[in-house]
Structure formats: C-alpha cells, structure tokens
Amino acid sequence: QVHLVESGGESVQAGESLRLSCTVNSQYSWKSYCMAWFRQAPGKEREGVATITKFGATNYAEFVKGRFTISHDSAKNIIDLQMNDLEPEDTATYYCAIDNGQVPATCSSRTVQGWFNYWGQGTQVTVSS
C-alpha cells in the first residue's frame, strides 16, 4: 500500500511563504517517474501546480512561476513545495500525487489527474489580503 500525507498548510498573510511537504510511507520503494502538486479552490476544478520527474526536471503552471519551487528527496520519500510571495488567489487545498513508474508522454502541470495513481488527502492553504 502506498500512502501520501501532505503537511504544512496553514493560514498566512499575502506576501508570506509556506513550505508544503508530502511524505510517502517509508515502506515504499521509490519508482515513481512523475510527481506533482495539484490544488483545488472552493467552487473550482482541481488544477496542476507543479511537477518534478525522478531525474529532477520541473514544470510549473504559469500562475506560480517564479514563486513556487517543487523538490524531491527520494532518500527521504518526500516531495516538497516551497511557496513564496503568496497571494489570496493561492487559497486552496493542495494535494500531492505520484504515478507508478510508467513514463508519461509529458510530466508537466498539464498532465491529466488520471495519470497519477496515488494521492494524498490534501492540506489547506489560506492566504489573506
């Protein structure tokens, strides 16, 4: 069984920073190729935020470029999302997701949600103006 647990979400003021972490259970023998952070705001569809491949190649949605950084530590089974200069529009529940090791046509913020095999339960980020 593969379990993902997100943490780090909280309420902050605009302009502040947060670091989200996604921990994969320690029994997992890492083989995922594409790892991602998604988010879903109230009343909106879930959208891709950032992705990283097992080789470290990253991709970001336009609305977070230059502000967010995704990273992966395979030794610790952690996928992080550093979020700087937060805006009220970043308010959402943030989810991490990983695939089962198959190589997708593309690993990007536009990779469809259905590609990912395992998801966390989400962590809430609220940004006040």
Q: Is 104 exposed, middle or buried (0-12, 13-18, 19+ CB in 10 A)?
A: middle
List the chain pLDDT tens, one digit each, 129 residues. 889 999 999 999 999 999 999 999 867 767 889 999 999 999 999 999 999 999 999 999 999 999 999 999 988 899 999 999 999 999 999 999 999 888 888 999 888 899 999 999 999 999 999
Cα–Cα dist 25/30, whole Å: 10
Closest among 55, 44, 59, 53 to 91, alpha carbons compared: 44
For residue 65, give both structure tokens. 């470029």
